[in-house]
Structure 1
Amino acid sequence: MNRKILLIEPNYKNKYPPMSLMKIATYYKLLGDHVTFFKGKLQDLVLNDTYEALLKQLYANDSSIFWEKYKSEICKYLKKGSSEEFYKIPLVEESLIINSLLKYYRRYFRNKEYFYPENRIYDKIAITTLFTFYWDITIDTIKFAKQLCKDEKNVLVGGVMASILPNYIKKETNIYPIIGPLIRPKMLGDDNNIIVDSLPLDYSILEEIDYVYPANDGYLAYMTRGCINKCKFCAVPKLEPEYKDYLPIAKQLKLDEKVFGLKRNLLLLDNNVLASSRFNDIIDNIKLAGFSKDSTYIEPNIFEIAIKNLKKGLNDKAYIKCIVKEYKRLIKKLGKNTQEIYDLLDKYYLLNADTATKKSILDTYDMVKDKFDLLYSKRPRKRYVDFNQGIDARLITEDNMKKMAEIPVQPVRIAFDNWKMHKIYEKAVRIAVKYGHKNLSNYLLYNFEDTPLELYKRLKLNVDLCEELNASIYSFPMKYHPIEDPDYFSNRDYIGKHWNRKFIRTIQAILNSTKGKVGKGKSFFEEAFGKNEQEFEKLLYMPEVMIIYRFYYKNNGITEKWWKCFNSLPQKKLNIAKNIIESNDFSSYELEIFDKDILNLLSYYKITRDDAEKHFNNKNVKKSKSNN
């Protein structure tokens, strides 16, 4: 078809690459379309599109200049209209045509003429969405992208947020999104029988962008879809309403390896893999894919893979960018012995993705290929499988944990969403450890229907199990917010019925010190969360600055003074003070409170982080913070 397709992930931070867009990229390339993937500031996208349009005109008028060499100056001029940059560009004073072209495209960009219907270049645009608290940036992205598509009817929106809040997206953007995965033909509007969700991922598009996903060292896949549970806090029933219990991946992973090279790990995004009646088949298929218990990985020659795919024309933009990145890694690796290779690459303009060309890369290939043997480690490293969404404690048995021990799962993530299931959870952990799964992890949902004390008890149970079983359990407390409530889906302000703003801030302040996770180590846990329930309840009301800079305030006696003041108040006065403390708003209580004892207590809550830095020894404050 040879249409121009733009795939967009909004410019938010996220851990995992967008699998849906990677499958959509495969789909459109199968149809013969030209696909571009973008993640970043959309102004940079249209700036680059403007530059590309200008570049064609510059070459049409004078092909003797290597115009790509001046991309930086050209783009700065297009963006800012800087005369300084303008006169760095060749022929602007000698050629009236070149001069006029630059000024024309400067006006074009300044006046946003790329939005004009006659100037729009994309035939179809597909935008993925993620969490609802990215509402504003996602809506802004959709609205911007609509103005880049030749026909706004061909702007497709899908993904998590779109599937959960389709009517709200329709109201804001006049686009009704695609709901759920692309499991039926024609969901993208084309008249064919291709099921997009069944297609392989196009990993090459990840090389087109500057953003690096933290989870970028493995294959991404599902072996089941959906979940048999209907948890009130979970969106999976809407996203994947039908449970599919076996989606084999071994064959596809072998094909991916041939095209994109061997990847170290396997990241599975199944929502409830233990619910599958074919769990044994799933484990056997994972082993067939190369992930047996003792499987190892040797880093492939990424340069050779990129060269191979560049020769095939699979994604020139991506692989040119990838190869330039490998050149830079090579130069850094060579150190003192770099001059010869540096001069060669510099001569052919291969140290910058904007100036590197496919021809120059292939022309110099034989001169540099042997050097790359130094770049990739030949040391075997263990491979791991991660059921990233966790497994259901209620479904853990001796049989399935024994079977799962045949593959290198690390960590084993066991859901622990509420204290009511602590006996089931504890039994599940014991079974898992019995069969060798000693590296465990879980997300602990809080701010839902639990109490703060129940969160503490779940955390403490994990620490106690680590001590008893000689295991490692990393807990990640995760704050609940109602993703479908219009008052809260675009922010994180929701407060559960047993929580308040101060309690939420306390947990966040503690987690700030533990980098968001709670691991093994009883003494560390007791210092962070308290030795017992009473100490934890004390922390809930402790001024935030005394939590963050805990050792400093403790060692200087200020924390003790606060606590004596807190406990010295009669219950009636304490209740008044607690109402203000729990609101976590200390900006104007003096307008309503005149009791000196209450005011004295509340004065401790007006100490800010900035005050700590100003009024105390800066070195000691920072030291006490880092030791927390």
Structure 2
Amino acid sequence: MSRNILLVEPNYKNKYPPMGLMKISSYYKQLGDNVTFFKGDLSELVLNDTYEMLIEQLYANDEKVVWEKYKPIICSYLRKGSLKVLDEIFKCSDNPIIIGLFKYYRKFFFNKLYFQPEFRKYDVVIVTTLFTFYWDISIKTINFVKQLCKTSEGVKVGGVMATILPDKVEEATGIKPHIGTLGKAGMLGDDNSIIVDNLPLDYSILEEIDYKYPADNAYYAYMTRGCINKCPFCAVPKLEPEYKDFLPLAEQLEVAEKKYGAKRDLLLLDNNVLASAKFNEIIEEIKRAGFAKGATYVEPNRYEIAIQNLISGQNDKGYIKSCVKQYKILLTKYKGADKQRVYNLLQDNFLLEEYTATKENILKTYEVLKPIFEELYKNRPKARYVDFNQGIDSRLINDSNMAKLAEIPIKPVRIAFDHWELHDVYKKAVETAVAHGHKNLSNYILYNFRDKPLELYLRLKLNVELCEELGASIYSFPMKYHPIEDPNYFSNRDYVGTHWCRKFIRAIQAILNSTKGKVGRGKSFFEEAFGSNEDEFYKLLYMPEVMIIYRFHFKDNGLTDEWWNKFIKLSEEQLSILKPIVEKNDFSCLDSLNIADKEILDVLHYYTIGRNDVDLG
């Protein structure tokens, strides 16, 4: 007998879909189970489950009404309990049992009876977790959905946060989490020889949700696992303690393309691919998978993909939703004289909304719509790209591996630059990469760890200089260190490194807000954002935040110069009083500081100017 499986990703914002859950979905579908993937407001999950229970009973008592047409009205009633919204429905059915059903399921939803053991729907509930600063929402999600599972043994929690802080997760939820990957058979509790981590990703579950991952037109994969380094700021040794130097790729991508259609790009999440003794084999495998240099991609007919997956029963819920999306795209783009005819066809078959669309009606209209979608999806080829998204190790870059890397369309080449002490090694690595044609580069720049603020500036400045010197394009992404295992900070982002303070961190964040989180090529742009020298950088660190955010406004009205002139006129003794106050970045209670020095108070006044005080005219 098939089981009902619920896979949940907490409703935080993230760029990449949960690969672990996508493999787990493949696993349970291979066993013949029913899989639901959910990411969103959990009240919507139980509301929809309640609605489906009600619909089943409504049809059992009155088959004449197309009940799905009234889903928004029905759900509104279940939420609010106002019978008035049901007036339209009661005109359609004179069965006296109907009103009783509505009242029962309103009470069912309002009293949260779906949590009661006898009403629980799911045999297995699995929740993934990500960063520890998503602690609150992750724990809330686990504690909610575990009440939907028929047994406590059926609830499973895994992922990054659960692996790093298993004891705390168990303490907060009562669930003992799974640590690490699913690299051995039987790890989900079933007696079989299937290794979940070796399974292909089930991309179809992404069709079930409204959330759109920013990197949504790519294959996601690993070609290695783990890392040979044991960097003190990194969780990889705990997440993936064993380094695996080659994981096959081509066959997985071939399976994915046949089932879900081709993806444009290949996004690899390896933590240290250059450490692999099989690096050359990895590149050859990537080429075999369709990503040799110069490879192109033609967007597949997504309507046809949805239809074929409906026919095969791959994921009816997801692909009904996908078809409705395609209909809406068609009506937006279709310029033919028969547009009204197409609209009428969709309307007559209740295919304009996903809650009324049925598999039967979608397939019934397929032959009529097929040639129209074929015309719509006549697309030109586009270049494909490969991205080792976690970056490569500058210490391992050499002529040989950079020449080999040039055999695939990698863009950008991401090179980590975590410490200023590595600047000579990093500089040589960039020069070597550029010498082999890799002129689109990017890197992650860690700060707020053991570095000093000046070291962040120097690393960013070096990249700007390398851009000019080598004719390359380097985009830097400063990333604030967060101690994911520290008991005082794991669930928030308030940690301040040894050489940092709250004001300096806020200053960097304010600068990055204006640069949209990245620092690119262009000396004048960099100097305007971070200062043309070390003194100007320190000036920015101490500058009132609002003057950083609205740089040109305060520069033009003279207040920035006014603040700075008063700041630098202070004596060393006065600065020894002022700077600790500024560095705490709390100016809400200046009166309580009992500062008698009017010159210090005058400078502090500029820090109380808020965004609401800015009139940009």
TM-score range (shorter-chain normalised) is over 0.9
> Partner letter of residue 567 of structure 2?
F
Distance 1:397 1:63 in 2: 71
Give the counterpart letter for 1:265 in structure 2: D
Tell me the CA shift for residue 105 of structure 1: 0.1
- Work out the CA distance in 2 between the residues paired with 1:144 and 1:92: 37
8 Å Cα contact 1:245-1:276 kept in structure 2: yes
Partner of 2:557: 556
Aligned to 1:599: 601
Aligned to 1:384: 385
Counterpart contact for 1:92–1:99, Cα < 8 Å: no
Report the secondary structure of 2:494's partner residue. coil
Which one-letter code corresponds to 1:352 in the other structure? Answer: E
Task: Give the residue type in structure 1 aligned to 2:604.
Answer: L
User: Does structure 1 residue 31 correspond to structure 2 residue 31?
Assistant: yes
Q: What is the rounded CA distance, in whole Å, between the counterparts of 1:190 and 1:527 in structure 2? A: 60
Q: Is the 8 A contact 2:65 2:93 kept in 1?
A: no
Distance 2:376 2:276 in 1: 42
The whole-number CA distance in structure 2 between the counterparts of 1:340 and 1:87 is 32
- Can you give the 5+ residue segments of structure 2 that lack an aligned partner in the other structure? none
Change (3 A) 1:363 1:554: same
Is 2:123 the partner of 1:123?
A: yes
Q: SS of the counterpart of 1:573?
A: helix
TM-score (norm: length of structure 2): 0.99
Q: Distance in 2 between matches of 1:166 and 1:255?
A: 34
Supply the distance in 2 between the matched residues of 1:8 and 1:245 (Cα, whole angstroms): 30
- Tell me which of 609, 612, 617 is aligned to 1:610: 612
Amino acid at match of 2:367: D
Q: Which residue of 1 is the match for residue 354 of structure 2?
A: 353
Please tell me whether the aligned partners of residues 91 and 98 of structure 1 are also in contact (alpha carbons under 8 angstroms): no
CA distance in 2, matches of 1:374, 1:72: 34
Instruction: After TM superposition, give the deviation of residue 248 of structure 1 in Å.
Output: 1.3
Deviations 1:9-57 (A, max 9, x none): 0000000010000000000011111000000011100000000000110
Q: Which residue of 1 aligns with 2:168?
A: 168
- Cα deviation for residue 66 of structure 1 reads 0.7
Cα deviation for residue 576 of structure 1 reads 0.4
- Alignment correspondent of 1:63: 63
Q: Are 2:289 and 1:294 equivalent residues in the alignment? A: no
Distance in 2 (CA, whole Å) between partners of 1:145 and 1:533 is 52
Equivalent residue letter for 1:502 = K
Aligned length: 615
Instruction: Note the C-alpha offset of 1:373.
Output: 2.4
Q: Deviations over 1:355-401 (max 9, x none)?
A: 00011011111111111123224211000000000000000000000
Structure 1 residues 212 and 603, CA, compared in 2 at 3 Å: closer, same or farther? same
Distance 1:335 1:529 in 2: 50
Give the structure 1 partner of residue 101 of structure 2: 101
Partner residue in 2 for 1:221: 221
* CA apart distance, 1:159: 0.3
Q: What SS is found at the alignment partner of 1:147?
A: helix
Q: Which amino acid is the alignment partner of residue 573 of structure 2?
A: K
| Deviation >6 Å, runs of 4+ | none
Is residue 2:414 matched to residue 1:413? yes
Equivalent residue of 2:283, what SS?
helix
Counterpart for residue 622 of structure 1:
none
2:106 equivalent to 1:142 = no
Mapped to 1, the partners of 2:585 and 2:109 lie a distance apart of 47
Cα deviation code 1:267-320 (max 9, x no counterpart): 000000000000000000000000000000011111111111110111111111
C-alpha separation between the residues in 1 aligned to 2:87 and 2:269? 53
Asked if the contact 1:139–1:173 (Cα under 8 Å) also holds between the matched residues in 2, the reply is: yes
1:76 aligned to 2:76? yes
The answer (yes or no) to whether the contact 1:543–1:605 under 8 Å persists in 2 is yes
Distance 2:84 2:410 in 1: 58
Whether the aligned pair in 2 keeps the contact of 1:580 and 1:589 (CA below 8 Å) is no
Deviations 1:314-346 (A, max 9, x none): 111111110110010010001474211111101
- Quote the residue 2:5 is aligned against: 5
Distance 2:324 2:216 in 1: 19
Name the SS of the counterpart of 1:386 in structure 2.
strand
Equivalent residue, structure 2, for 1:513? 514
Residue 402 of structure 1, CA deviation: 0.1
Give 2:232's aligned residue. Answer: 232
For the 8 Å contact 1:207–1:322, the answer to whether it is kept is: yes
C-alpha distance in 1 between matches for 2:113 and 2:520: 54
TM-aligned CA deviation for residue 552 of structure 1: 1.4
- Kindly state the Cα deviation for residue 254 of structure 1 after the two structures are TM-superposed: 1.1
> Equivalents in 2 of 1:154, 1:362: separation in Å?
36
Question: Secondary structure of the residue that 1:519 maps to in structure 2?
Answer: coil
Name the structure 2 match of 1:625: none
The residue type paired with residue 416 of structure 1 is: F
- Distance between the aligned counterparts of 1:510 and 1:408, measured in 2? 32
8 A contact 1:93–1:99 mirrored in 2: no
How far apart, in 1, do the equivalents of 2:376 and 2:367 lie?
16
Q: Deviations over 1:456-489 (max 9, x none)?
A: 0000000000111111100000000100011101
Separation in structure 2 between the aligned mates of residue 550 and residue 255 of structure 1, nearest angstrom: 52
Partners of 1:377 and 1:263 in 2: CA distance: 16
Equivalences for 1:465-544 in 2 at 5 Å?
A: 465-544=466-545
CA contact (8 A) 2:62 2:93 kept: no
Partner amino acid, structure 1, of 2:10: P
Shift of residue 538, structure 1, vs aligned partner: 0.6
CA RMSD in angstroms comes to 1.0
CA contact (8 A) 2:14 2:213 kept: yes
Q: Using the alignment, how far apart are the partners of 1:294 and 1:90 within structure 2?
A: 62
Counterpart of 2:612, as a letter, is: D
Q: Alignment partner of 1:476: what SS?
A: strand
- Report the equivalent of 2:113: 113
1:95 to partner: Cα distance = 2.2
Give yes or no for the alignment of 1:178 onto 2:178. yes
Give the direction of change, closer, same or farther, for the CA distance of 1:90–1:312 in structure 2 (3 Å limit): farther
* SS of structure 1 residue aligned to 2:442: strand
Residue 82 of structure 1 and its aligned partner are, at CA, apart by 2.0
The aligned amino acid for 1:66 is V
Paired position in structure 2 for 1:156: 156
**Does residue 51 of the first structure (1) align with residue 51 of the second (2)?**
yes
> Following TM superposition, by how much is the alpha carbon of 1:589 offset from its aligned partner in structure 2, in angstroms?
2.1
**Secondary structure of the structure 2 residue equivalent to 1:443:** strand
Q: What's the CA shift for 1:146?
A: 1.1
Within 2, Cα distance between the matches of 1:604 and 1:13? 35
Separation of aligned partners in 2, 1:496 and 1:518 = 22
The aligned residue for residue 363 of structure 1 is 364
Distance in 1 (CA, whole Å) between partners of 2:336 and 2:407 is: 46
Contact 1:86 1:92 in 2 (8 A): no
* Structure 2 counterparts to residues 288-327 of structure 1, below 5 A: 288-327=288-327
- Residue in structure 2 matched with residue 624 of structure 1 by the alignment: none
After superposition, give the CA deviation of every residue in 1:75-121 in whole Å (9 maximum; x if it has no partner).
Answer: 10001112231222245873220000000000000000000111101
Contact preservation (8 Å) 1:91, 1:99: no
After the TM superposition, which of the residue ranges 417-426 and 82-91 deviates more from structure 2? 82-91
Are residues 1:374 and 2:375 paired? Answer: yes
Decide whether the 8 Å contact of 2:163 with 2:178 is kept in 1: yes
